[in-house]
Amino acid sequence: MRLNRKQKLIAKCVGAVTGTLLTLGMGIASAEDYRLRAVSNANENDEDYDGLVVFKDFVEAQSNGAIEVDIFLGTQLCGNGTECMQALEDGSVDIYISTSGGVANMYPYVQVLDLPYILSSDRMAETVLRGDFTREMRDAILEDSNDQVRLMTIGNTGGWRNFANTQRTVRTPEDLEGLKIRTVVADLPQALTRGLGASPTPIPWPELFTSLQTGVVEGSKNGITDIMSMKFPEAGLQYLTLDGHAYMAALWYMNNDVFMDMPEDMRRVVVDGFDALQQATFTSPKRKSIQAYRDFAAAGGEVYVPTPEEKEQFLQAATPAFDWFVENIEDGEMWLDLLRSEAEKADAMINESYERDLN
C-alpha cells in the first residue's frame, strides 16, 4: 500500500517521536539518578559559592533532573584542603574546590599558578585556563592520584593578589624593603616576598586583622574583595599597590570514578556545567571589586597602579620565586615553560584580535 503525502508526514513524525522516546529511555538517566556532594570551604559571599550555584542550576536543568547537586559550605563535610581531597578520593565528597596552596602538599606542581607576573591580565589568564594548560594539569593529577581525582576546570577566587600595607605607598620593590608581609606557611610565597625585599611573616588567616592592628605584620598579599570583606582598613591597611603578582586561581576537582560511571550524555552535561561555573567565577570578582574599591577609598585607602617600567622592576626582583620552583618542584622547569608558552600564545591571540577589532 502506497502512502499519500499526509500519511507519510504522520508516519515520519510518529517515527521521530518514538526514536526520541527510545533515546530518552536508553541514554538519559531517570530523575535523581546522580546526587553530587559539592564542597567549598568558603561562605555564601565568596566567588566559589557563586560558581556552585551556577553549576547546580545548569546541570540539574540540562539533565532533566537526573543529576542533583547538594552544596556544602564551610567545614560541614571536611575542614581543609588535605582532608577534603582525601574525602574526594574515598568518595565521601564528589566535588571540591581549592586554591593551589590548599593542595600543594599533594600536587606540588600546581604552585606554578602562584608564580608572579606571568599572567598579566584577566583576558590572558582566562584564555590560558580555558585551554591545554588545564588539560595537561588534569592528566598529571589523574596519574598522581591513581585515577581518583579529576581536575574539571580552573576558575578564579578573589581576582588578583596585590601588595597592601599599613605604612606607605609602594611604587617599586625598594618601597617594600623591611616591611613585614603576611604570607601563608609555604616556601614559594615566602621566596617571592623575600626577593622583593620584604620580610615574610606566616600568620593564620583568622589572625590577620589583629596582627595588622598590633603591628605583628605590616602588610599582606590579597585581593580587594578579601581586604574589604575582612574590614582590614579598620586595622590600618591603607596602601594598596595593584602590581597583580598572582591570579587567584581556583581549582575544581571531581571524583573520577563518579564522573566516569556516568553515561556520556551526563558527562557532557557535567563538563558544560563546569564551563558555566568557570565563566561565573571569572565574572564574579570583577563585579564585586567595583564596590570593594569604592569602599576602600571611602575608608581612606589609597590605590597605586605601577607603570610598565615599575612592573618590570617587580618582575626582575621576583627571580628567587622562579628559582625556588624550578629547584624544588619535580618537573618544575617543564611546568614553568608550559605556563609561559601558553601565556605567550594567549598574548599573541589577543594582539591579533586587536589588529582586527581596532581597525
CATH number where 269 lies? 3.40.190.170
Whether residue 336 lies inside any domain: the answer is no
In a domain, 358, yes or no: no
pLDDT at residue 30 in the model: 52
Per-residue model confidence (pLDDT) at position 29:
47
In a domain, 345, yes or no: no
Rounded distance between C-alpha atoms, residue 25 and residue 182, angstroms: 57
Weakest mean pLDDT among 15-19, 76-80, 330-334? 15-19
For residue 279, the model assigns a pLDDT of 98
What pLDDT score was predicted for residue 31? 56
Q: What pLDDT digit, counting tens, does each position of 251-301 carry?
A: 999 999 999 999 999 999 999 999 999 999 999 999 999 999 999 999 999
Band of the pLDDT at 80, cuts 50, 70, 90? confident
Interval 89-116 mean pLDDT = 94
Cα–chain center distance at 60: 23
Domain annotation covers residue 3: no
- Residue 320 pLDDT exceeds 90: yes
- Using the predicted structure, report yes or no on whether residue 69 has a pLDDT greater than 90: yes
> Domain of 144?
32-326
Closest C-alpha among 332, 331, 313, 273 to residue 117: 313
Q: How confident is the model at residue 7 (pLDDT cuts 50, 70, 90)?
A: very low
Residue 197 has pLDDT above 90, yes or no: yes
Residues 322-351, mean pLDDT to the nearest whole number? 97
Is 331 part of any domain? Answer: no
Which residue carries 568558603 as its cell? 42
User: Distance between CA 120 and CA 340 in Å, rounded?
Assistant: 11
Most confidently predicted of 31-40, 93-102, 331-340: 331-340
Q: Which of 2-16, 183-197, 208-222 has the lowest mean pLDDT?
A: 2-16
Distance CA(134)–CA(195), nearest Å, equals 28
How many C-beta neighbours within 10 Å does residue 211 have? 18
Instruction: Please state the rounded mean pLDDT for residues 219-228.
Output: 95
Q: Does 351 reside within a domain?
A: no
- Number of domains within the chain: 1
Residues 6+ apart with CB under 8 A from 153: 129, 134, 252, 274, 275, 277, 278
Residue 338 lies in a domain: no
DSSP-derived letter for residue 2 is: -
Report the mean per-residue pLDDT for the chain: 91
Q: Compute how many other C-beta atoms are within 10 angstroms of the C-beta atom of residue 14.
A: 10
Please, which pLDDT band fits residue 185 given cuts at 50, 70 and 90?
confident
Residue-level pLDDT at 257: 98
**Res. 184 pLDDT band, cuts 50 70 90:** confident
User: From CA 98, how far away is CA 81, in angstroms rounded?
Assistant: 7
pLDDT at 84 over 70: yes
| Structural domain includes residue 168 | yes
Question: Is 4's pLDDT higher than 90?
Answer: no
pTM over 0.85: yes
